[in-house]
Amino acid sequence: MIRVAEINRFNELYELKHIWNDLLAKCKDKHIFLTWEYISTYWKHFGKERKLRLLCAMEKDKIIGIAPLRESKFVFANSFSYNVIEPLGYRGGAGHGADYTGLILAEKELDCFKAFLSYLVEQDDWDFIYLYDIPGTSVIPELLRKASKDVPMFEIIEGAVCPYIPIPSSMDIFMKKLRKKFRSNLRRRMRKLERDYRKVEFKRYDEVGSVRETMRIFMKLHQKRFNAISMPGEFATKKIRNFYFEVAENFASNGWLALHFLIVDDDPIAADYSYYYEEKLYSALNGFDPNYSKYSPMHLLTLKVIEKCINEGVKEYDLLKGGEPYKFDYTSTYRKNLGIRFVNNNFTSNMYNIGIKIAKKAGIEKVMQRFLKF
């Protein structure tokens, strides 16, 4: 029989370090944002105003599943508060965090899943469970179908578009799939860049400097790009910079950091910050110097990154959450994230759920979302 143990303190999360990734490796739903390095670093930097509610599925004394969750409190119209259990690394309104979430179900998937939900139902100290940004390929919707009689009332909502590039066997094959005009422009701009500068290089971070040093170069390029269009950029605060510094250092020690630069005459002009994991490359952030915009440096760097993927046997370049037009310059393939909303059977939850339904019928759902976190 499976029992559930709840972890509420960071030091207990830290103690799972030596088994976490071994469990994840056995899962069908493994991705970089479910690694111990990412989850623990996220909580260390952004968990202060929330409650850790990490659940471990135990068979005898062995952990066979982990639900990385947190509890957040929200207030509606200064009148009442409600508690939401959500993925620990969820991005939310803060603008930083995981593009994908999920559960670690290493063994007996269905039994672990039902045990997690049964445990939370018994606690009855929450109003809603929101499993945001579950990848569309996840086993969770199928587990829900199988367990539908034993779980709280739920709704599955289609979420963000997530484009990705299946990596072909050669660069020629990849280039032929691009639109003719786009392909022609890329080649023309690369020739112009090579004519205008003495030396054009593509380098990995460890060919440039230390992790900290190259992250500072990358952050500067990212901020330059966004400040040029009057946007704050991802690294506007020290807290967020420190988070990314630590993620980069942790990932580098595991061989997961993929930070690449396009350099002209020893001057970095573009940077791509990505993660390697399980034969995939995850494109997290990028940046470039707007003074070089006429060369489309990010596009040129992206081609170099894809070429490296081909040479190293990477199977997929995941462009992550968001349907920005530039992503579809490279691919027409995409998945969609899913959101799963569970409603508790108490007065607050039911009133909230009624409010959502009324908002949808009245066509004011987006207005309601500003006040109610659904």
CA 17 to chain centre: 20
On the question of pLDDT at 192 being above 60, the answer is: yes
Q: Rounded to an integer, what distance in angstroms lies between the CA atom of residue 30 and that of residue 12?
A: 22
Same domain? For 219 and 87 the reply is no
On the question of pLDDT at 71 being above 80, the answer is: yes
Same domain? For 25 and 152 the reply is yes
Q: Does the residue 320 lie in any domain?
A: no
Q: Is 7 in contact with 13 (CB distance < 8 Å)?
A: yes
Tell me the pLDDT band of 46, cut-offs 50, 70 and 90.
very high
Tell me the pLDDT band of 263, cut-offs 50, 70 and 90.
very high
Q: Does the residue 201 lie in any domain?
A: yes
CA angle 63, 33, 253 (to 5 degrees): 90
> In the predicted model, what is the mean pLDDT of the chain?
92
Q: Does the residue 271 lie in any domain?
A: yes
Q: Is 55 in contact with 6 (CB distance < 8 Å)?
A: yes
Same domain? For 192 and 154 the reply is no
Q: Rounded to an integer, what distance in angstroms lies between the CA atom of residue 59 and that of residue 64?
A: 7
Structure tokens that stand for 286 in this block: 């990028």
- φ, ψ dihedrals at 22, nearest 5°: -65, -40
Question: Which domain covers residue 203, as residue numbers?
Answer: 168-314
Same domain? For 27 and 57 the reply is yes
List b or e across 244-276, with b for residues whose CB sees 16 or more CB atoms inside 10 angstroms. Answer: bbbbbbbbbeeebbbbbbbbbeeebbbbbbbbb
Give 269-285 pLDDT, tens digit per residue: 999 999 999 999 999 99
Give DSSP secondary structure letters for 177-188: HS-HHHHHHHHH
Q: What is the pLDDT of residue 347?
A: 64
Same domain? For 56 and 8 the reply is yes
How many domains does the chain fold into? 2
Same domain? For 148 and 267 the reply is no
Same domain? For 156 and 9 the reply is yes
Same domain? For 172 and 158 the reply is no
Average pLDDT over residues 101-110: 97
On the question of pLDDT at 194 being above 90, the answer is: yes
On the question of pLDDT at 187 being above 70, the answer is: yes
Q: Does the residue 64 lie in any domain?
A: yes
Q: Is 173 in contact with 361 (CB distance < 8 Å)?
A: no
Q: Does the residue 240 lie in any domain?
A: yes
Tell me the pLDDT band of 286, cut-offs 50, 70 and 90.
very high
Q: Can you tell me whether residue 206 is helix, strand or coil?
A: helix
Q: Does the residue 187 lie in any domain?
A: yes
Same domain? For 150 and 80 the reply is yes
Q: What is the pLDDT of residue 313?
A: 97
On the question of pLDDT at 82 being above 90, the answer is: no
pTM: 0.92
Same domain? For 174 and 255 the reply is yes
CATH of the domain at 266: 3.40.630.30
Same domain? For 143 and 6 the reply is yes
Q: Can you tell me whether residue 56 is helix, strand or coil?
A: strand
Same domain? For 222 and 128 the reply is no
Tell me the pLDDT band of 161, cut-offs 50, 70 and 90.
very high
The share of the chain scoring above pLDDT 70, in percent, equals 92
CA 54 to chain centre: 18
On the question of pLDDT at 207 being above 70, the answer is: yes
Average pLDDT over residues 284-311: 98
Q: Rounded to an integer, what distance in angstroms lies between the CA atom of residue 138 and that of residue 31?
A: 11
Q: Does the residue 230 lie in any domain?
A: yes
Q: Does the residue 302 lie in any domain?
A: yes
Q: What is the pLDDT of residue 93?
A: 58
